[in-house]
Amino acid sequence: MSLLNREVFWPPADELIEVAERIRARLGEWPAAAMRWRICLTAPEAPKADDLIVLTESHDADAGRFADSGAAVLDAREGRVTLHRGDERFALEGERSDDWLAALAAFLDCNFEPHDALTLALAWRAGDENKADAWPVDFATFPRVADLPPAPEGGFPACPDRLGLYPVLPSADWVERVLDLDVRTAQLRRKTTDTADLKREIARSVEAGRRHDAQLFINDHWREAIAAGAYGVHLGQEDVQTADLNAIAKAGLRLGLSTHGYYEMLRALHFEPSYLALGAVFPTTTKVMPTKPQGLARLRRYVQLLSGRVPLVAIGGIDAKVMPDVLATGVGSAAVVRAVTEAPDTAAAVSSLQQMFAGK
């Protein structure tokens, strides 16, 4: 857990490393960082892939000149902080404490990706290390994601704060089968390039949702979901760039958004969705994930920050064995796939999972 005996800041900065050490000591045990970042307070002549170069002066050259080295760049000028990493750009606005760079080093050491470590560092306030729980949990201190389009006027309709068991299912047959077992939240994730098949499957699933008065979400296919009058749609982070959120809101559909860490949670909240999905909690084979598994410790912190602000759904690799631990974080819903679709006895599996939510 120590930051000593390695190069954390360049040039060496004794005062910063001392503050970073104090902060890191109060953040608890986390897995060893996958990459040992070096925070460069001035631009090195020969930057490396594990360098995070901080630009603070207006005469510093454009961040793009370091792209070939593979280094990440933090442009901390003009009232915002923008992280450039490869082709990705993460822009955040908000107050900064004097300790933000020391906090950044500490959160990087907790194995957070640079954009999430930066989000936490900007939420850090001087003296937080003296609190009983030093972790940033006051939403008011967190930065804002910059340069986003306006949220849809009027927003999206609300859904229940605790959506309970949330099976993600491959077909209308599965949707009908599971809703017949008294499940009240489900998602159709239909993987097909056949337009006619897709429309039929969505129409059947939506009708089953109506019969059972259930919250039936359609994954990705928002146009077809609008046409069928679905309860809601579920989109990934990448879909926010291409989907017509205004059309979805105008049609009265609920919106669920996937997130994979602090930065994406703040970005998703800007659009005022009906719920946030937090994942992947554990490794999953049902789809290719853009990020490493989050784990229960992170999930617990996400719930602590966002509970009561928006309904939350844990997702990714969740089965009956780990469900009690997932629910112990306080999350109000958990999405499952193989725990239902690959169960030897579907009815028994659903009943067992439903019982775990009783009283939660």
Q: Is 147 annotated as a binding residue?
A: no
Of the chain, the end-to-end C-alpha distance in Å amounts to 35
Burial of 24 (0-12, 13-18, 19+ CB in 10 A): buried
Query: What gap in Å lies between CA 164 and CA 359, rounded to an integer?
Result: 11
Q: In what order do the strands lie in the sheet with 72-75?
A: 9-10, 38-40, 51-55, 72-75, 80-85, 88-93, 144-145
Q: Is 56 annotated as a binding residue?
A: no
Q: Is 292 annotated as a binding residue?
A: no
The answer to whether 235 and 273 are in contact (CB under 8 A) is no
Of how many residues is the chain composed?
360
Cis before 280? omega within 30: yes
Q: Is 200 annotated as a binding residue?
A: no
Q: Is 261 annotated as a binding residue?
A: no
Q: Is 220 annotated as a binding residue?
A: yes
Q: Is 77 annotated as a binding residue?
A: no
Q: Is 185 annotated as a binding residue?
A: no
Query: What gap in Å lies between CA 331 and CA 347, rounded to an integer?
Result: 24
Q: Is 190 annotated as a binding residue?
A: yes
∠ at Cα 162 (325, 270), nearest 5°? 100
The answer to whether 250 and 272 are in contact (CB under 8 A) is no
- In DSSP terms, 72 is beta-bridged to 52
Signed CA dihedral, 233, 237, 242, 246: sign only: positive
Tokens coding 137: 């949990």
Q: Is 51 annotated as a binding residue?
A: no
Q: Is 130 annotated as a binding residue?
A: no
Q: Is 111 annotated as a binding residue?
A: no
Query: What gap in Å lies between CA 35 and CA 146, rounded to an integer?
Result: 27
Binding-site residue set for Mg(2+): 220, 239
Binding-site residue set: 187-191, 219-220, 239, 258, 284-287, 317
